[in-house]
Chain A
Amino acid sequence: METTRKLIRKQSLEKLYNILSTTRKVYAPVIASDKQVEYKYNPAFTDVTFDHIRSTLSVKNVVFPKVENLFYYTNKQTESTITDIDLNKIQDVVLWGAHPCDNAAFDTLRSIFCWDITDEFFAKRLEKLVVIGFSCHLSDEYCFCTSVGLTPNSTKGSDILLSRLKNGDYHAEILTEKGNAIVSISPELFESVTNEEAEITSVKQKFNHEQVTAKLATAFENPFWVANSLRCIGCGACAYVCPTCACFDIQDEASGKEGKRYRSWDSCGFGLFTLHTSGHNPRNVQSQRWRQRIMHKFSYMPERNNSLGCVGCGRCSSGCPVDMNIAEQLEALQNI
């Protein structure tokens, strides 16, 4: 679909939000009491933040919840009955206010979840999702979208992208049919575009991702990994806050003869992640796990999924308890 450009006045933005939020689930960022930025369903417009740099957690849980039930079962002597989850019950969600890096991550996740076999849970949730993204007028030292092929106003993954003008109005790029459908709910709110410039932050490029990928091809045994990961304590924080990390664990939870199978987030940073039943662990120490994290995102995914596994949001680094700064490390890797 060809992109159309419109103008939304400040007051119209509030109207649009209220129309959407009274008719469907809208997932939007708010500043919680402890100053953390978190997404909530249908917060009041006055509570929605437009000036956050990054939410503590990414928004991937709208398509990849931290716990997803896969099916229910009952056992009767030798027979088991499986009850599937009714995917049609998954509701429409409008994601409001997420930034270009987070929205681009939906494409990255699709390249994993719909790689060969389509993951129907993920695919259904994505189908039901409409993304109204906001380009960034703020950034900080952890942001590096421009090093991974994105920009503070890239449109990838958004159905509508809004960019704020100096006077508080917004330019709207309507990018997809889903975006069009939102416009048609209240077309009068979308006026003809002006030639005023949007306020877009600038993010310095820190490394060239193609060069990093090329370097990684021969870096597997490099002493870099041990030297730069001694401080990593092997938690799951970086993977769980990351918008593109997709690993999960599958568990059964039984109560008597009934039970369910679910999946929940997992992380390659944990020692248990690769532990075999035999006791052998192919990733026995933390440096091997840290290497896996970088390799997966910057070497294996470009090769196999034709997609970079990182959108440069910086969450893993700002959220890491020991300041493992991924951009700093990628910059160093480019020059090894």
Chain B
Amino acid sequence: MTSLIIRAKELLENKTVQVVIGYEAGPTGVARPAFITDPAKAESLIYDERCVQNLAVYLTKREVKNIGKMAIVATLPVMRSIMMLISEQQLFADNIVVLGISADGKLLDIADNKVMQGYIEKSDLSNPEKYKGLLTEFNKLSPEEKFLYWQKELSKCIKCYACRQACPMCYCTRCTVEVNQPQWIPVKANTHGNMEWHILRAMHLAGRCISCGECGRACPVGIPCHLLTMHLTDQVYNYFKVYAGTSEKMSSVLSTYEPNDKESFII
């Protein structure tokens, strides 16, 4: 995408940023993250339908941050992740340049966070179309059927934590599954341990998940674990009428309390 390459080059040449986080094509043709520091290498940046990974996960990664100020190629989920990270004090808005990409693949002019917020607000923030079918199917199941479905799916989990590592919102330096005094979650990857892990992950992302689908995409054994967090995204919207990642000042639904909160969800 020429406009993106020109912009990336410019930002690196005039030293506005030290690294541009975008996509390049790997040797097998798969799109993958690229970290461009040399303006001459900006040519290798691509943007097309292969570029699906949520790059925001790198904004909190130490070795990437060490390079200096970052520019990031940002589709809607990436922009929403950035908003979440700012609202949770994981990122300073001043430290990044957003190379926004519209739904039809055009480079947007995102001058600052206000503009980004405006763009996010006028976008459809519900779960993406491609996941809605499965979510609707899933909702038709009875609680028992849901339990059996997840028991079967999660028995495949090998606890590689790719789902967690791929998620921009799972930035904890020490995840609860790694705490062993006390040990909250069994370490082993059997059905019981896997169930507990996924319940924990889903609850930690309820109201924080921005529906990028990255967790499910990352899973090497094909467990659709994004359905859990996306389902909760729907639930949170139904109860509280909010979607995650819409402003810098948002507080997380499940970690804030208001005296006039509805209590209808308590069963």
Binding site for B on A (CB under 8 A): 34, 36, 38, 56-57, 66-67, 141-142, 226, 230-231, 233-237, 239-241, 249, 251, 253, 262, 264-265, 267, 270-272, 285-287, 319, 321-323, 325, 328
Contact = CB atoms under 8 A, between A and B. Distances in A.
A331 to B, nearest CB: 9
B218 A285 contact: no
A240 B63 contact: no
B33 A235 contact: no
Contacts of B31: 323
Bin chain B's interface residue count.
35 or more
B64 interface: yes
14 contacts: A66-B188, A66-B189, A142-B28, A233-B165, A235-B166, A236-B159, A240-B159, A240-B220, A251-B187, A253-B186, A264-B188, A285-B63, A321-B53, A321-B220
Given A141-B28, A230-B64, A237 B162 contact: yes
Most buried by B among A234, A262, A264, A285: A264
A34 B63 CA distance: 36
A305 B156 CA distance: 32
A267 B190 contact: no
Contacts of B220: 56, 237, 240-241, 319, 321
Closest 9 CB pairs of A and B: A321-B218, A323-B32, A235-B162, A236-B160, A233-B165, A319-B220, A231-B33, A235-B165, A67-B188
Contacts of B63: 226, 230, 285-287
B28 A233 contact: no
Contacts of A226: 63
B44 to A, nearest CB: 13
Interface in B46-77: 53, 57-58, 61-64
Most buried by A among B26, B62, B220: B220
B58 to A, nearest CB: 7
A332 to B, nearest CB: 10
B266 interface: no
B184 to A, nearest CB: 13
A239 B165 CA distance: 15
A276 to B, nearest CB: 14
Given A67-B188, A235-B165, A253-B186, A240 B160 contact: yes
B35 interface: yes
Interface of B is mostly: loop
Interface in B220-248: 220-222
B125 interface: no
A105 to B, nearest CB: 17
Contact of A323 (B28, B58, B188, B190): B28
Nearest to A36: B222
Contact of A249 (B35, B174, B187): B187
Given A67-B188, A322-B53, A36 B221 contact: yes
A36 B217 CA distance: 14
Contacts of A322: 32-33, 53
A38 B155 CA distance: 13
Contacts of A249: 187
Given A36-B221, A236-B162, A286-B61, 18 more contacts: A67-B189, A141-B27, A230-B35, A230-B63, A231-B35, A235-B162, A235-B164, A240-B160, A241-B220, A249-B187, A253-B186, A264-B187, A287-B63, A321-B53, A322-B32, A323-B26, A323-B32, A325-B27
A57 B218 contact: no
Contacts of A56: 220-222
B30 interface: yes
A231 B32 contact: yes
Given A56-B222, A321-B218, A270 B161 contact: yes
Interface in B144-191: 156, 158-162, 164-166, 173-174, 178, 186-190
Contacts of A240: 158-160, 220
B162 A66 contact: no
A271 B171 CA distance: 13
Given A235-B165, A272-B178, A325-B27, A264 B222 contact: no
B161 A265 contact: no
Nearest to A241: B220
A148 B262 CA distance: 62
Given A34-B222, A56-B222, A231-B33, A265 B64 contact: no
A230 B58 contact: yes
Contacts of B53: 321-322
Contacts of A323: 26, 28, 30-32
A196 to B, nearest CB: 34
A270 B222 CA distance: 21
A328 B161 contact: no
Nearest to A327: B27
A38 B156 CA distance: 10
A237 B221 CA distance: 9
Contact of A267 (B26, B35, B160, B222): B160
